[in-house]
Amino acid sequence: MTLLTGRGDSSGTVAALDEDTLRTVEIGGTRLPLMGTGRIYVCGITPYDTTHLGHAATFVWADMAARILRLTGHPVEVCRNITDVDDHLLLQAQVEGVPWRSLATQQSYRFERDMDLLGISHPAFEPRSHDHVDGVVILAAELLTRGLAYERNGSVYFRGAAVHETAGLTRDEAMSLASERGGHPDDPNKDDPLDVALWMRSIGDEPAWPSPWGPGRPGWHAECTAMALTTFGATVDLHAGGADLAFPHHAYEAAQAEAFTGVHPFARSWMHIGTVMAENTKMAKSTGNLVFVHDLLERWSAAAIRLLILSRPWNESWEFSESELDRAEGELETLRSLESKPGASDTAAREVRHVLFENLDVPGALAVARDAGGEVLRHFDRLIGLTTVERWS
Ligand SMILES: [Zn+2]
């Protein structure tokens, strides 16, 4: 169906709008009408280690969100940052005895190669923290002026005692997540353990930039606040990242942005991608259960990895197993044979799109496309990136 819209009076020019342009994608319970370019900010990596399957799941799904939003006819820009000034990175560089910048460059290169192999589109923007230190200084200075931050011994802290309430967490829950996820609640400089550093005094040979409070470096959440505001202005349409970033990282990033701009909400919608588990534990360097993308690519196709990630709801956590990847390879073969069926169906193609618009339901849309087969399935495979990714060797 084509709908017509008038411009000016009834005898004036009319422009055709495709039905999909008037559709609204819903993500995580939030309807996301777009007018003009859609802006997606996705929290990227700290480049101190190799890409694991948990990273891959986050970035495949963020890529998928952009592809689905584009189906409505609107351009979509993705900003995926690289946190290259960070405690973990500095520590790892020290362990390896290499300059932190070299480690960051080397690991960023490997990460981008893995993203390419997985068929993840290049983001329009890929800011790096070290290029946005001035932005963090501006943020900290403004929040100090407004009385929302305080300076202590060369560091600047954001008053964050109330942030957990907007995140729907009790203070006890927030305290436990803060200590688990780099919030340093025991820092003696803080008025409240739930305050966070916007700016940190550099100690010893840590990298240091000049600031009104002496040489220092940016705080983690403040880096993303500065990169997002610089790239997209006061708001983003969709903010994505792994589920473990919801608190404290995203909650503080948003609180700081809103305090700085006065514009609420900072993110119109959020996408916290489900955690990938291995041996019943979250995949993490500290637990030693990481499954690296480049190791998987030696045994399975990139398309199978992508299909495995996309074959469940994006917000569910899941347990990785090699047998699931074998199953995904088998399913790919079945899909390829179903694609060779003749015929096309506009109704099925439309239904596929509309299922995708309901909370990015890729598994549901795959079922519809699979039933239709032929051209509908070929288009769907291209849309979800299964036909552009090749074997590693
Ligand atoms: Zn971030």
The whole-number pLDDT of residue 344 equals 79
DSSP 279-292: TTEE--GGGT---B
C-alpha of residue 351 to centroid of ligand 1, in Å: 35
**pLDDT at residue 292 in the model:** 93
Tokens of 297: 């690519």
- Give residue 88 CA to ligand 1 midpoint distance, Å: 14
Q: How far is the CA of 151 from the centre of ligand 1 (A)?
A: 23
For residue 8, the model assigns a pLDDT of 38
Cα–Cα distances (Å) from 300 to 91, 276, 289, 336, 390, in that order, read 33, 18, 19, 16, 10
Average pLDDT over residues 315-344: 94
pLDDT at 392 over 70: no
The pLDDT value recorded for residue 366 is 97
Split at pLDDT 50, 70, 90, the class of 388 is low
Q: Which residues contact 307 (CB under 8 A, 6 or more apart)?
A: 328, 331, 332, 386
Whole-number Å distance, alpha carbon 125 to ligand 1 midpoint, is: 14
Compute, in angstroms, the gap from residue 360 CA to the centroid of ligand 1. Answer: 22
Give CA–CA dist 295/325, Å, rounded. Answer: 13
Residues in the chain: 393
Q: What is the mean pLDDT of residues 131-149?
A: 98
b/e map 178-194, b = 16+ CB within 10 Å: beeeebbbeeebbeebb
Å from CA of 322 to ligand 1 middle: 30
Domain ranges in the chain are 38-296, 322-383
What fold is seen in the domain 38-296? Answer: Rossmann fold (3.40.50)
- Indicate the DSSP class of residue 33: -
Q: Give the span between the Cα atoms of 194 and 173, in whole angstroms.
A: 11
pLDDT digits 0-9 by tens, 306-319: 999 999 999 999 99
The pLDDT of 7-25, averaged and rounded, is 61
- Between the CA of 298 and the centroid of ligand 1 the distance, in Å, is 30
Q: Sort 246 into a burial class: Cβ within 10 Å, 0-12 / 13-18 / 19+.
A: middle
Find the 220 Cα to ligand 1 centroid distance in Å.
8
Tell me, in angstroms, the distance from the centre of ligand 1 to residue 365's CA. Answer: 30
Distance CA 330, CA 202 (A): 53
Quickly count helices (H) and strands (E) in the chain. 14, 15
Residue 390's pLDDT band (cuts 50, 70, 90): very low
Q: Could you tell me the pTM of the whole model?
A: 0.92
- Measured between alpha carbons, how far is 163 from 89 in angstroms, rounded to an integer? 27
What confidence tier does 16 reach under pLDDT thresholds 50, 70, 90? low
- Between the CA of 329 and the centroid of ligand 1 the distance, in Å, is 33
Spacing, Cα 281 to ligand 1 middle (Å):
23
Cα 230 to averaged position of ligand 1 atoms, centre (Å): 14
Average pLDDT, stretch 326-352? 92
> Scanning the structure block, which residue is given the tokens 């009408």?
33
Question: Which residue's entry shows tokens 């090699």?
Answer: 322
Q: Give the Å distance between the CA of 23 and the centre of ligand 1.
A: 30
Q: What percent of the chain has pLDDT over 70?
A: 94
Tens-place pLDDT, residues 69-108: 999 999 999 999 999 888 888 999 999 999 999 999 999 9
CA of 46 to the centre of ligand 1 (A): 10
Highest average pLDDT, of 2-6, 334-338, 339-343, comes from 334-338
For residue 138, the CA-to-ligand 1 centroid distance in Å is 18
Ligand 1 centre from 83 Cα, in Å? Answer: 8
User: Ligand 1 centre and the CA of 273: distance in Å?
Assistant: 14
CA of 253 to the centre of ligand 1 (A): 7
